[in-house]
Amino acid sequence: MSVLAEVVTVALNGLQQGAIYVLVAIGLSIILGTLKFVNFAHGALYLIGTYAGLLITLEINVTDGKLADWGYTPIGLEWGFLPALVIVPSVVFAVGLLMERFVARPFYDRPDTDQILLTFGLAIVVQEVFKILFGGQSYNFARPGWASGQVDLPIVGTFPEWRLYIIGITAAVVVLVYGLIEYTDFGLVVRAGTRDAEMVELLGIKLSRPYLMVFGVGAALAGVAGVVGGPLYAVNPNIGTEILVPSFLVVVIGGVGSITGAVLGGILIGETLAILVAVAPQWSQVGIYVLAAIVLLARPQGLLGVEEVTP
């Protein structure tokens, strides 16, 4: 493989890796930017989405955990990937609505530390519930048959077809969410509430329902990430916590509340990881923290974030 082919391959791998982070980080970013709520349980939503997608798509043999003890093995619907891509975001959207109503809403006016402790504790509970039910074993989330092959690309040669689908699905979802926030009445209310919630309430607009929907949309995006990213990694109860920190770094780099910032941050994190994995794998995780530190030193509000002015 030529040097140019290797460079393009690494760039595509970085885009694919970044695409997963973008899907998770957009939800984190709009929830934090709009509701001012620090949700450390967002990775648990990704975990729920991945397992839900696994069970809808395939039939798995559970050999450990309570499900095996209760005789639920094998388990799964075997409906395929496309039904999972529709059903899972809807399920995780509903979970997000419940989380906003009964977990987040009572803590909106509480200090960030209280929100972090609450949601981090919830994330651990969800992780342990899945560990009890499914055991600690890892499961293989097979790629859909129509996207499991290789595709011939100029310069690169063969490249995994599914990775290109991930990039394409992410791009489509980003466009839809951006349009929802920027070009609809719902998005107008949400953006106005983000800037001056008290004034919006004085105009007679209740923000509780738009905020509820924002939380649900953010959760659904984590569900989409779980479905499209599941075939790339071993599925186990730890995946929620593993994706949380890089996703928060994406938000920090891009800027809180900025969809385009989350996209830019995800691409930068993904490309940094891909480059370092190719040239210095032992430094790959360190590299993304160094990148975040450099961005914060130069622009504390993130690359596309807006600096808050304290009256």
Compute the radius of gyration of the chain from its Cα atoms.
20
pLDDT digits (tens, 9 = 90+) for 16-50: 999 999 999 999 999 999 999 999 999 999 999 99
pLDDT at 175: 97
- The CA distance from 269 to 250, in Å, is 7
Q: What is the DSSP letter of 158?
A: E
pLDDT at 308: 63
- Region 183-208: mean pLDDT is 88
Domain-wise residue ranges, the chain? 3-240
pLDDT digits (tens, 9 = 90+) for 119-151: 999 999 999 999 999 998 999 888 888 888 899
Checking DSSP bridges between strand 157-160 and strand 150-153, what pairing results, if any? antiparallel
- The CA distance from 311 to 309, in Å, is 6
Mean predicted lDDT score pLDDT of the chain: 93
Core vs surface per residue 83-119: b (16+ CB within 10 A) or e: ebbebbbebbbebbbebbeebbbebeeeeeeebeebb
Q: What is the pTM of this model?
A: 0.94
pLDDT at 147: 86
- Region 79-108: mean pLDDT is 96
Contact partners, residue 38, CB within 8 Å, separation at least 6:
32, 112, 115, 116, 119
Query: Which of 62, 60, 53 lies closest to 80 in space, CA to CA?
Result: 53
